[in-house]
């Protein structure tokens, strides 16, 4: 019986694959997409302008792409795990060499049809790569020097390339994605503890090496009221916007902080601030619940997957998405320094959405092919 | 295979264990985020809502409309007029240089004025209003309006501003307004609250005293602004309250006559209702046009006023400390009668001069008056008689009576900060102020209103009024409001011990005007309707030397600054008196020739207008 099921599920028909879809996850992603479109419409001042249009097109194309990806067997994603990593490393090198510079940092590369930010893609592909790396590894080998060194190189290489852009925020997020995989792969607890201790001890030296604007951000975070019109402006205005939203919010298109331009970067990093101002505590809580369901579904799909690759990818991706969300929110709520990380799906930005959708696509594929073993 | 599968199981166990740890962590972090949201949006909501409103709402205050001053009959004596102004918002002008030079030509601005405008422009933000001109003539205003097609961004504006239609007539009474300075803002709460750039506030006089009532409240425009301070939309327009209009007791016609009588002279005239204490007229001469100050006085005009030897900036009615001269004699007589020092039969022989305590005291009449009783001495203003009375009376008793009748005290209390108290000396005062003992000779000259004694014209007017009304206390006032409604009071506080004494003094004053030999006989009016009683006074400005006394110069032969002040106090009509007045002409020479004739003209007008005034009082005037 067991054998039988296995054989049949190995070759799923088109409709069977459809049946295997995680509709809860899909619906949540679609709702999130809709919310993000509405919010983008609000940032455009209640008109369909550039940001709304562009966001809609990206959302439509990438959602379609995610659906197509879910029909592709998870083992193919496994097989190209190293390749995509190498390709993105190539893109990062390309960015370093011929990238487009915008506001003092060289993050984008012109691919003729799209301006891509490879560092965003790396946040996901590093998980794919490391998941593949640990897939076949025996547990006793996981904590070997060779493994640890190799995985560290896999993480540090893209980090280095992103730091020189310079984009410390994204580099840290890439590292967190990678570390998530290491964590689930079973690297000894003590290494994590050592790392955390080492990080805390070296913090003063790290700060000494930070660029002035980065140092300013840390100082501003610690005391935003010191320079309310300068460096502290973003945090203060963001907190005012969120706080003034109250329980029910100011109402759709009525966020005064945003449409009177007090809010900085409202399309990208501070999109949650605008949403929270207009929809209040209840709206924000609902948005958090949607994110929570998405993460829960990702983890559940991982738990139901037969293959170790799918499992470790889903868990790590779920953890990474969670970290992206919490870092972005903590930042706009004044709990963390401004590091410049987008809110998945909600924020304007093609590369970030592409990366997130690719992640969802692989998770969906893992769900559709959850009985697939990978040798 | 078994190995590998057991390894797989171990791997699964490990990953699931770690997933559990991760899941718990996620749960707590999620709770952390939600609590933070709750803290900001629910608990601290009010604080951030306020901050957000502070961000987006900006108020623009407009100058409040100032309350007016009306005279007793409702004539506007300080009102508002529409000033034609020219505003430019630099940001809305395409080519500011072109427009501003074009305006310079059209308005014929001088280089200094033009530079001032440019300086102002540099001080404001580009979206703020630049007032190019604050009070244009109608000709220039219409000229600008005809050229508007060429002046993009220039806005002709009609704004409300202060106007004094009677010009110099009320200057010392009402004062004037001018641009508020830092001092005004700091000292007056109402100015601080309603301050807008260019706000005009009272600088002196009643305009200053009643600032809080007159100022009104701002119109407030609330705008929503964006992060760069640009107005997005008007949220609210809150109409301000016009300041309170104050009705005065003054009769403009009498005031104008006072101004006319004192034309080209330095001095003061005040007229008072002897029963209500209402001031009918109060003028200090020379005066100046208060309208000059409203938009800032020019340097030339200011120098002209400041350097005038007749001192137009001094309010002589309230600030002028003058020796009362013979106008004090009714009080000296009254005091002596009240204290039982003399009676009507008390007689003194006047030989023109008298020797007392080794000093010679002269009567104004060189040949002397002969035997004088009280009535005759008052009529002819015999100095020798009053020397003797004063000597017998003593300065302390005299000062007591004088103070009772309002001398040596501020008449209006706190109404005017510039008002002087005058000086009624006594022995105690001299000891305290000068540290010297009182000399008897000083009592003697006090008896004819010379020496230390000093009074202001308004005090003399009050003194006369209180003698005229039968010796009762009245409270002089200028402004009518709910408390002071100009009705006759039922009960008067008597200032005398025996009302007969008041009658005696009144009769003596009557004789001085209406009987042959009286000092102001020439100014009398025989018609009983207008008949009045008055006492002349001539106050020496400097001690007359023996040689000068020998020369006996006529007034015009003496240099202006050394001429005597001419004084006159009077009340009328003699039967049923109603009004009292005091007149002082600085360096006017002689009370009977300079000051008394003015009273004739004044009484004619005042008594003619009495009926009108009375009818208004009984009609219960409605506040406008």
Cβ distance A295 to B228 less than 8 Å, yes or no, reads no
The per-residue pLDDT for A123 is 95
| A95 contacts A118 by C-beta, under 8 angstroms | yes
CATH architecture of B60-248: Alpha-Beta Complex (3.90)
CA distance A14 to chain B (A): 30
CA dist B303 and B308 (Å) reads 8
The per-residue pLDDT for A1 is 37
| B238 contacts B246 by C-beta, under 8 angstroms | no
Cα–Cα separations (whole angstroms), residue B526 to A102, B444, B537, B603: 103, 35, 22, 12
∠ CA(B129), CA(B130), CA(B131), 5° rounding?
110
The per-residue pLDDT for B2 is 44
What is the pLDDT averaged over residues B92-107?
83
Q: How buried is B220 (Cβ within 10 angstroms: 0-12 exposed, 13-18 middle, 19+ buried)?
A: middle
In-domain check, residue A72: yes
Give residue limits of the domains in chain B.
Answer: 2-43, 60-248, 252-286+322-618
Please indicate whether residue B312 or residue A337 has the higher confidence score (pLDDT).
B312
Cβ distance B42 to A247 less than 8 Å, yes or no, reads yes
Residue B584's CB is within 10 A of a number of other CB atoms, namely 36
| B407 contacts B426 by C-beta, under 8 angstroms | no
Considering only the beta carbons, identify the residue of A186, A284, A299 that sits closest to B37.
A284
Cβ distance B14 to A139 less than 8 Å, yes or no, reads yes
The per-residue pLDDT for A8 is 45
Cβ distance A243 to B48 less than 8 Å, yes or no, reads yes
The per-residue pLDDT for A373 is 83
* ipTM of model: 0.91
Considering only the beta carbons, identify the residue of B11, B19, B224 that sits closest to A315.
B19
Considering only the beta carbons, identify the residue of A247, A295, A302 that sits closest to B41.
A247
DSSP string spanning B258-324? HHHHTTTS-EEEEEEETTT-BEEEEEEES---THHHHT---HHHHHHHHT-TT-TTS-HHHH--B--
| Interval B239-281: pLDDT, tens | 888 999 999 999 999 999 999 999 999 999 999 999 989 999 9
Beta strands in B45-153 (DSSP E): 57-62, 69-70, 76-88, 130-136
Q: For residue B24, what is the nearest residue in chain A, using CA coordinates? A: A319
Compute the CA torsion angle B196, B200, B204, B205 (nearest 10 deg). -110
Give contacts of A326 with chain B, Cβ < 8 Å. 29-30, 33
pLDDT at B623 over 60: no
Q: If you ran DSSP here, which 8-state letter would residue A21 be given?
A: S
pLDDT band at B624 (very low <50, low <70, confident <90, very high): very low
Cβ distance B40 to A239 less than 8 Å, yes or no, reads yes
The per-residue pLDDT for A226 is 65
CA distance B53 to chain A (A): 9
Q: Does B231 touch chain A (CB under 8 A)?
A: no
Cβ distance B34 to A335 less than 8 Å, yes or no, reads no
Measuring CA to CA, which residue among B195, B389, B375, B199 is closest to residue B295?
B199
DSSP string spanning B154-202? EEEEEEEEEE-TTGGGGHHHH--EEE--HHHHHH-HHHHHH--TT-EEE
Number of independent structural domains in chain A = 1
User: What value does the mean pLDDT of chain B take?
Assistant: 88
Give contacts of A243 with chain B, Cβ < 8 Å. 40-41, 44-45, 47-49, 51-52
Give contacts of A185 with chain B, Cβ < 8 Å. 15
Instruction: Extract the residue ranges of chain A whose pLDDT is less than 50.
Output: 1-9
CA distance B415 to chain A (A): 49
Q: Give contacts of B 41-100 with A, CB under 8 A.
A: 41-42, 44-45, 47-49, 51-53, 55-56
CA dist A328 and A132 (Å) reads 28
Please indicate whether residue B139 or residue B30 has the higher confidence score (pLDDT).
B30
Q: For residue A263, what is the nearest residue in chain B, using CA coordinates? A: B227
Whole-prediction pTM value? Answer: 0.68
| Interval B67-88: pLDDT, tens | 999 999 989 999 998 888 888 8
Q: CATH number of the domain at B252-286+322-618, out of 3.90.245.10, 3.20.20.105, 3.40.710.10, 3.40.50.1000?
A: 3.40.710.10
Q: How buried is B95 (Cβ within 10 angstroms: 0-12 exposed, 13-18 middle, 19+ buried)?
A: exposed
| Interval B482-519: pLDDT, tens | 665 555 666 778 888 898 999 999 999 999 999 999 99
Cβ distance A276 to B224 less than 8 Å, yes or no, reads no
Q: Does B233 touch chain A (CB under 8 A)?
A: no
pLDDT at B103 over 90: no
Cβ distance B48 to A280 less than 8 Å, yes or no, reads no
| Interval B462-488: pLDDT, tens | 999 999 999 999 989 998 876 655 556
Measuring CA to CA, which residue among B436, B416, B418, B414 is closest to residue B427?
B436
Cα–Cα separations (whole angstroms), residue A116 to A91, A165, A176, A348: 9, 14, 21, 13
Cα–Cα separations (whole angstroms), residue B349 to B19, B318, B376, B388: 130, 38, 12, 10
CA dist A127 and A173 (Å) reads 12
For an interface test with B, give the residue of A137, A243, A331 to mutate (most B CBs within 10 A). Answer: A243
CA distance A281 to chain B (A): 6
Give contacts of B42 with chain A, Cβ < 8 Å. 246-247, 281
pLDDT at B621 over 70: no
CA dist A316 and A124 (Å) reads 10
Give contacts of A292 with chain B, Cβ < 8 Å. 30
Look up the domain containing A58 and give its range.
12-368
In-domain check, residue A259: yes
In-domain check, residue A281: yes
Give contacts of B14 with chain A, Cβ < 8 Å. 139, 186
How many beta-carbon pairs below 8 A join chains A and B?
123
Buried/exposed code over B153-183 (b: 16+ C-beta within 10 A; e: otherwise): bbebeebbbbbbebebbbbbbbbbbbbbeee
Cβ distance B11 to A308 less than 8 Å, yes or no, reads yes
For an interface test with A, give the residue of B16, B37, B44, B231 to mutate (most A CBs within 10 A). Answer: B37
The per-residue pLDDT for B481 is 75
The per-residue pLDDT for A103 is 74
In-domain check, residue A7: no
Considering only the beta carbons, identify the residue of B15, B34, B56 that sits closest to A315.
B15
Cβ distance A260 to B48 less than 8 Å, yes or no, reads no
CA dist B136 and B146 (Å) reads 15
């Amino acid at each position: 019986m067991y054998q039988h099921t296995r054989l049949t599920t190995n070759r799923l028909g088109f409709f069977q694959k459809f049946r295997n879809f995680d509709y809860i996850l899909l619906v949540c992603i679609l709702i999130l997409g809709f919310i993000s479109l509405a919010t983008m419409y609000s940032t455009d001042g209640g008109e369909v302008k550039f940001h709304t249009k562009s966001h809609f097109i990206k959302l439509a194309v990438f959602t379609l792409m995610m659906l197509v990806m879910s029909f592709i067997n998870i083992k193919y994603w496994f097989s190209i795990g190293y390749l995509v990593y190498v390709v993105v490393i190539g893109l990062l090198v390309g960015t370093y060499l011929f990238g487009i510079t915008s506001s003092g940092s060289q993050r984008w590369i012109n691919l003729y049809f799209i301006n891509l930010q490879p560092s965003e893609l790396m946040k996901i592909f590093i998980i794919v790569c490391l998941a593949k790396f640990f897939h076949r590894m025996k547990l006793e080998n996981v904590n070997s020097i060779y493994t640890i060194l190799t995985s560290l190189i896999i993480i540090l290489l893209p980090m280095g390339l992103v730091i020189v852009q310079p984009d410390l925020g994204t580099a840290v997020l890439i590292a967190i994605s990678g570390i998530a995989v290491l964590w689930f792969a079973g690297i000894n607890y003590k290494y994590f503890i050592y790392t955390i201790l080492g990080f805390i001890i070296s913090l003063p030296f790290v700060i000494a090496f930070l660029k002035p604007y980065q140092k300013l951000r840390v100082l501003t975070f610690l005391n935003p009221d010191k320079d309310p019109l300068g460096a502290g402006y973003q945090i203060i205005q963001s907190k005012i916007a969120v706080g003034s939203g109250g329980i029910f919010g100011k109402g759709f298109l009525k966020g005064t902080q945003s449409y009177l331009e007090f809010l900085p970067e409202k399309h990208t990093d501070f999109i949650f601030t605008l949403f929270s101002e207009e929809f209040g505590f209840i709206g924000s809580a609902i948005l958090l619940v949607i994110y929570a369901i998405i993460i829960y579904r990702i983890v559940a799909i991982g738990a139901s997957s037969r293959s170790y690759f799918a499992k470790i990818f889903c868990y790590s991706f779920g953890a990474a998405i969670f970290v992206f969300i919490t870092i972005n929110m903590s930042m706009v709520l004044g709990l963390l320094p401004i590091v410049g990380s987008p809110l998945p799906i909600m924020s304007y930005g093609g590369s970030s959405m592409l990366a997130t959708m690719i992640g969802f696509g692989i998770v969906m594929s893992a769900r559709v092919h959850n009985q697939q073993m990978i040798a | 295979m078994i190995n590998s599968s057991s390894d797989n199981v171990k791997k699964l166990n490990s990953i699931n264990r770690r997933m559990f740890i991760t899941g718990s962590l996620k749960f707590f972090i999620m709770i952390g985020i939600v609590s933070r949201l709750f803290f900001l949006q629910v608990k601290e909501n009010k604080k951030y809502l306020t901050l957000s409103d502070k961000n987006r709402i900006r108020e623009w205050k407009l100058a409040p409309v100032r309350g007016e001053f009306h005279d007793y009959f409702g004539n506007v004596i300080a009102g508002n007029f529409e000033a034609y102004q020219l505003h430019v918002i630099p940001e809305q002008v395409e080519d500011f240089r072109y427009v501003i030079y074009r305006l310079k030509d059209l308005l014929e601005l001088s280089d200094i004025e033009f530079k001032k405008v440019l300086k102002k422009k540099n001080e404001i933000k580009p979206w703020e209003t630049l007032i190019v001109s604050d009070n244009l003539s109608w000709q220039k205003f219409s000229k600008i309006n005809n050229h508007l097609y060429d002046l993009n961004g220039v806005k002709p504006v009609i704004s409300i501003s202060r106007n004094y239609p009677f010009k110099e007539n009320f200057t010392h009474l009402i004062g004037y307004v001018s641009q508020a300075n830092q001092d005004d803002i700091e000292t007056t709460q109402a100015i601080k609250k309603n301050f807008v750039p260019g706000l005009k506030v009272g600088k002196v006089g009643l305009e200053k005293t009643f600032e809080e009532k007159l100022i009104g409240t701002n119109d407030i425009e609330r705008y929503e602004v964006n992060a760069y301070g640009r107005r997005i939309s008007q949220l609210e327009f809150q109409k301000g309250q016009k300041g309170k209009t104050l009705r005065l007791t003054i009769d403009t016609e009498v005031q104008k006559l006072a101004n006319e009588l004192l034309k080209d002279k330095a001095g003061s005239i005040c007229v008072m209702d002897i029963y209500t204490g209402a001031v009918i007229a109060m003028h200090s001469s020379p005066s100046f046009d208060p309208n000059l100050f409203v938009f800032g006085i020019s340097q030339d005009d200011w120098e002209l006023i400041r350097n005038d030897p007749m001192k137009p900036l001094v309010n002589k009615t309230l600030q002028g400390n003058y020796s009362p001269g013979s106008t004090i004699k009714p009080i000296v007589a009254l005091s002596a009668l009240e204290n039982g020092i003399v009676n009507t039969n008390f007689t003194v022989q006047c030989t023109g001069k008298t020797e007392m305590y080794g000093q010679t005291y002269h009567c104004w009449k060189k040949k002397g008056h002969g035997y004088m009783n009280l009535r005759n001495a008052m009529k002819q203003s015999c100095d020798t008689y009053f020397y003797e009375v004063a000597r017998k009376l003593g300065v302390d008793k005299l000062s007591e009576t004088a103070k009772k009748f309002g001398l040596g005290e501020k008449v209006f209390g706190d109404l005017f900060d510039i008002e002087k108290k005058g000086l009624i000396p006594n022995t105690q005062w001299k000891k305290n102020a000068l540290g010297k003992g009182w000399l008897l000779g000083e009592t003697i000259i006090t008896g004819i209103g010379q020496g230390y004694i000093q009074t202001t014209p308004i005090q003399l007017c009050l003194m006369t009024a209180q003698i005229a009304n039968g010796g009762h206390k009245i409270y002089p006032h200028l402004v009518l409001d709910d408390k002071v409604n100009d009705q006759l009071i039922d009960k008067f506080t008597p200032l005398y011990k025996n009302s007969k004494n008041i009658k005696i003094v009144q009769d003596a004053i009557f004789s001085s005007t209406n009987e042959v030999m009286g000092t102001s006989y020439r100014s009398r009016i025989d018609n009983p309707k207008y008949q009045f009683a008055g006492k002349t006074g001539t106050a020496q400005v400097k001690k007359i030397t023996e040689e000068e006394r020998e020369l006996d110069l006529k007034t015009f032969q003496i240099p202006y600054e050394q001429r005597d002040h001419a004084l006159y106090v009077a009340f009328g009509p003699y039967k049923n008196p109603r009004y009292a007045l005091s007149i002082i002409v600085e360096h006017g020479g002689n009370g009977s020739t300079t000051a008394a004739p003015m009273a004739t003209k004044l009484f004619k007008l005042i008594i003619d207008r009495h009926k009108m005034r009375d009818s208004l009082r009984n009609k219960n005037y409605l506040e406008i």
